[in-house]
Amino acid sequence: MAVFVIGDLHLSLGADKPMDVFEGWQGYLPKLEENWRKLIDPEDVVVLAGDTSWAMKLEDTFADFSFLQKLPGQKWLLKGNHDYWWTTARKMQNYLEKSGFTSLHILHNNACRVGNLALCGTRGWPFDDSEAQDAKIMAREAGRLEYSLAAGEGAEEKIAFLHYPPVFPGACAQDLVDVLRRHGVQRCFYGHLHGKAIRYAVQGDVEGIRYRLISADGLAFCPYKICD
């Protein structure tokens, strides 16, 4: 059983918001599906690190989630800044069960256990805005990350997933990084960055934590294998 990750699929099969209009995204969906099917087996686990569907309402995700359901692997969905369809965990889980999306699961205030690993995470928040409201949201996201990592207690390794980057060159979301360190996280994967912004992504070790960008275009639309 292998673990993979990819973020920012920005699926729009049920909405008129194609990503092909952006440079580098032309024909990305067939490319994504081809790479996915080559790499991933039904028993594998795939973390989708936010911005999975452009749908505005939960019921409007049906076409996008049907596409994911047909792909091999068990998929764990994290919230992104464009996942406007996101609602409560209970409502989402009920919708997935009712719709027959048996391979889709929600990663929110919980952890996914895969062997000796615990897959944990939350959306995160931009840390370059000091407004009070943003500070409150950052604190809330740090709390959710804390809750998720605590749910993975007892695992040999806790791996963290965020949608927003927790680090930039010379800066970091201190609230989130403090939580990662407190729980002994050594690997953290994040998305959100696209196009020219990819060049500024922190990739590698920063004070004992290895960071990696896994946005879809940053990975050339090929899921990244974390471990076997």
Domain boundaries, the chain: 3-227
* Matching residue, tokens 């965990």: 89
pLDDT tens-digit profile of 161-203?
999 999 999 889 999 999 999 999 999 999 999 999 999 999 9
Residue 129 has pLDDT above 60, yes or no: no
Q: How sure is the predictor about 61, in pLDDT bands with cuts at 50, 70 and 90?
A: very high
Q: Given this model, what pLDDT does residue 57 score? A: 96
Q: CA–CA separation, 118 vs 158, rounded Å? A: 5
38 Rama sector, left if φ>0, alpha if ψ -120 to 50, beta otherwise: alpha
Pick the CATH number of 3-227 from 3.40.50.300, 3.40.1280.10, 3.90.1200.10, 3.60.21.10: 3.60.21.10
- Provide the 10 A C-beta neighbour count for residue 116: 9
Return the biggest CA–CA distance within the chain: 46
Helix (H) or strand (E) holding 75: strand 74-78
pTM of the model: 0.95
**What is the tens place of the pLDDT at every residue in 63-96?**
999 999 999 999 999 999 999 999 999 999 999 9
